[in-house]
Amino acid sequence: MTAPACTFTPSWPAELELAYARSGGATRPVLRRHLGPLRVQKHLYAEGPEVCQHIIVHPPAGIAGGDRLAIRATAEAGAWAQLTSPGAAKWYRAASPAQQSVTLRAEAGATLEWLPQETIVYSNAQAQLATEIDLRGDARLCYWDVVALGRPASGEAFDHGYFQARLDVRRDGELIWHERQRIHGGDGLLRSPMGLAGYPVFGTLLLTGTAEAEWLEHCRALPCQGRGDLTQLPGLLVARCLASEALHARDWLIALWRVLRPLMLGRPALPPRIWNT
């Protein structure tokens, strides 16, 4: 008798929950809970005690079919948390979907910076990402993401699989930013001038607040190895770029961050050392 084919898809769920509180003149981590292969390295104070920096680490170094990652972070009233990553997140080719959910919350008076390094989506990956951000009162947010479809340096185009993402930002329950993306490998959208225009990398930066007109013009004059521009919406600044390499997109976002962080968040822009490794 022939044994039935095994249809079991292995998965590796992982969860990470963080919270930060203001204590005197410092931001302190007050919650760190994890399940599976998601961790944070020791908290850092490169800018002094007011800003707590954590580096989120996913030791497997890649996300495979069936994996489910969930990250939740809260900055309580008056706290300032900066979250980044040590390297690119790699979504491998897979026979089943992999999922990541990110839930961020900032209470009144808090500042939350979500500044991970790039996401690389291999051809034949099935990547599903969802991000929910909840801001309360005058909470401030600096958020970016860089997505690379395929691996152009290895000659791999994004010909199969798909990338799906949802991003919602709310302030006091009111939706201030909503976007959905679903990009299929080999789709005409990858080459269309109405889509990615042949660029395999796209990046987004969201920064709460209102930028003066001269700031916007200064940012638009910054060199971009690709295509980039900014739009001021009510209470939210949006920057977008297309690039041929993830490094080019990231360099442009960092250049914007260096200019806008002091102007809109009131602190000099000190890049985390991990970005240089």
Q: What letters, b where the CB count within 10 A reaches 16 and e where it falls short, cover 174-202? A: eebbeeeeebebeeeebeeeeebeebbbb
Question: 3-state class of 188 per DSSP?
Answer: helix
Asked if residue 53 lies in contact with residue 45, where contact means CB atoms within 8 angstroms, the answer is yes
For residue 67, give every residue at least 6 positions away whose Cβ sits within 8 Å of its Cβ, in sequence order, or none: 11, 12, 13, 14, 98, 99
Q: Sort 273 into a burial class: Cβ within 10 Å, 0-12 / 13-18 / 19+.
A: exposed
Domain assignment present for residue 273? The answer is: no
The tens-digit pLDDT sequence of the chain (277 residues) is: 444 444 445 678 999 999 999 999 999 999 999 999 999 988 999 999 999 999 999 988 799 999 999 999 999 999 999 999 999 999 999 999 999 999 999 999 999 999 999 999 999 999 999 999 999 999 999 999 999 999 977 889 999 999 999 999 999 999 999 999 999 999 999 999 999 999 999 999 999 999 999 999 999 999 999 999 999 999 999 999 999 999 999 999 999 999 999 999 999 999 999 998 7
d(CA 252, CA 202): 11
Structural domains counted in the chain: 1
Instruction: Please choose, from the candidates 184, 202, 211, the residue with its C-alpha nearest in 3D space to the C-alpha of residue 248.
Output: 202
Domain assignment present for residue 58? The answer is: yes
CA distances to 13, 59, 120, 143, 164 from 37, rounded to whole Å, are: 8, 6, 19, 24, 23
Domain assignment present for residue 249? The answer is: yes
Instruction: Please choose, from the candidates 139, 108, 129, 115, the residue with its C-alpha nearest in 3D space to the C-alpha of residue 56.
Output: 115
d(CA 225, CA 245): 9
Domain assignment present for residue 159? The answer is: yes
Domain assignment present for residue 210? The answer is: yes
Domain assignment present for residue 276? The answer is: no
Locus of tokens 């709460």: 208
**Domain residue limits at 225:** 14-267
Which secondary-structure segment (H or E) carries 258?
A: helix 246-260
Domain assignment present for residue 9? The answer is: no
d(CA 221, CA 228): 10
Domain assignment present for residue 110? The answer is: yes
